[in-house]
Structure formats: C-alpha cells, structure tokens
Amino acid sequence: MNRCVAILGGTGEARLLAGQLAGQRGTRVVSTLAGRVRRPRMPAGEVRVGGFGGPQGLADWLVAEKVTAVVDATHPFAERISAAAAKAAHYAGIPLVLLRRPGWRPGPGDDWHWADSITEAAAMLPGLGRRVFLTTGRQGLAAFARSDRWFLIRCVDPPGLPLPARKELILSRGPYTVDGERALMTGHDIDLLVTKDSGGDHTVAKLTVARELGVPVVVVRRPALPAVPVVATVEEALSWLGSAAG
C-alpha cells in the first residue's frame, strides 16, 4: 500500500501522529507548519513551512503532492486554517479528518467564567481581579491594551503592539508544572487567570493552581468546528486513516 498523508500540524498531537506514520512502510508523511512560531518543534518525516494562499492554493498543493488523506491537527483556535483545510480537501476530493484534543471542563472548586471571544474576555476583567495572568497567546493581546489592570503576559514568541501599559512579559513554552505555576502565580500576587480552552496536559497546571488558590478563571470558548469527521486522539486518527483513507 502506498499513500501520502498530509498533517496540518503545530501541536503535540500532530508531532506524535507524524512519528507514528513515518515508521510505516508504504506511507509518506508531510507535515505543514504555518510558520508563525520562530523555533517550532519539528516532526518526523517531511516538513513544509508557510502558507498556501487560501483553500484553492492548498487544494492545488494536495493534488500536486498526490496526497491521499489529510489530518488537520492544528491548534483548537486555528479557526481560519481549519476552515480553509476543509474547503481545500473538498475541492481536491481528498478525505480529511480533524484531530482535536478534548477541551477542559471545570471541576469542584473551580470559579470559571466563559467568554465567546478575546474581546469579551477583556470586557469581563473589571470586578474579577486586578492582577491578571494572561495566557491567551500573542495574538489578540490588543484587546487588553486599554485595560487598567496589571498583567503577567506569557507567550512563546514576542508579541506585537499594542500591549497593556502595566505588564510583565514572559516568553516561555510548555509543558508547565503545578509547582512552577504555583510559584509564578503566588510570586506575582495573581488574582485572575485568563486563558483559552486549549485542552491537553501541557498547560493545564495553571488551572490546577487557580483552583488551589481560589483564583477565578476567564476561559475563552473554542470556535465552531467545520463540518468534517472529528477524532479526539492520535489512536483514533490512525484508525480513521486505516479505514477511511487507507
């Protein structure tokens, strides 16, 4: 059996899937990265970095590379990429599955406040806290620029402007530990956490610490999924590839 699987990557699940496929005889795996992270963690197999110029450009590339199946394993908030991938696979007549890790859910002792967007999250800060641990990534930080709160901003790469006037910036990449997050939040007197519902284990420690400290959390909901098959784990993606795109 000869097949070519394209993985729209950038996540831990994408790297794990690429590693599994790269060791299979008769399978060519090509991971595509958007190129927004300066030093991305590279997956096994072939790697392509950069955009495609929209859904039709991606569709043309899929056909040119003789791709037989597509796995969209991008970040849960990569809404535009996922929408473009669904259209491109449809244009090219190639099966696609969306690999999306489950989102987080509040448990006993959690004080969560859901927001439908970054802008809505920024509007919710008054009355919830004065020293904010902001972990929504570098995109969308402009929504907090006019706030009078103090922010501890953590992201992987340096963000653009504008930024809040009162802030401290930390450039860091997970995974994070409970002990490390506790030291960070207590050391900066954090009384409010703002995050996206990214899911997974790499960055969940901050939620554990927020629960311990009684710190409220503003959680930005995930965008709607495109109308494509969805799996939650790498194992399910491999099964789908074996049955639907073998």
Asked if pLDDT for residue 246 goes beyond 90, the answer is no
Of 142, 122, 117, 99, give the one whose Cα is nearest residue 196. Answer: 117
pLDDT of residue 35: 73
175: preceding bond cis by omega (within 30 degrees): yes
Quote the percentage of the chain above a pLDDT of 70: 97
Place of tokens 């710190």: 215
User: What is the chain's mean pLDDT, rounded?
Assistant: 94
d(CA 19, CA 81): 22
Asked if pLDDT for residue 1 goes beyond 70, the answer is no
Report the pLDDT averaged over residues 43-56: 94
What is the DSSP secondary-structure string of 31-85? EEE-S-SSSPPPPSSEEEES--SSHHHHHHHHHHTT--EEEE---TT-HHHHHHH
pLDDT of residue 132: 98
Range with lowest mean pLDDT among 26-40, 76-90, 119-133, 230-244: 26-40
Residue 237 banded pLDDT, cuts 50, 70, 90? very high
- Long-range CB contact pairs, 157-163, < 8 A, 24+: 157/36, 157/37, 157/38
Asked if pLDDT for residue 200 goes beyond 80, the answer is yes
Give the DSSP letter of residue 221.
P
* Cβ partners under 8 Å of residue 202, min gap 6: 12, 174, 175, 176
Instruction: Map out the domains of the chain with their CATH numbers.
Output: 3-102+224-244 (3.40.50.720), 112-220 (3.40.50.720)
pLDDT of residue 37: 67
Of 103, 67, 81, 93, give the one whose Cα is nearest residue 232. Answer: 103
Three-state DSSP class for residue 129: coil
In 92-229 the beta strands, taken as DSSP E runs, fall at: 96-99, 112-115, 131-135, 150-155, 167-171, 192-196, 217-220
pLDDT of residue 10: 87
Asked if pLDDT for residue 36 goes beyond 90, the answer is no
Q: Which pTM value belongs to this model?
A: 0.90
Which pairing describes strands 69-72 and 96-99: parallel, antiparallel, or unpaired?
Answer: parallel
H or E segment at 28? strand 27-33
d(CA 100, CA 11): 10
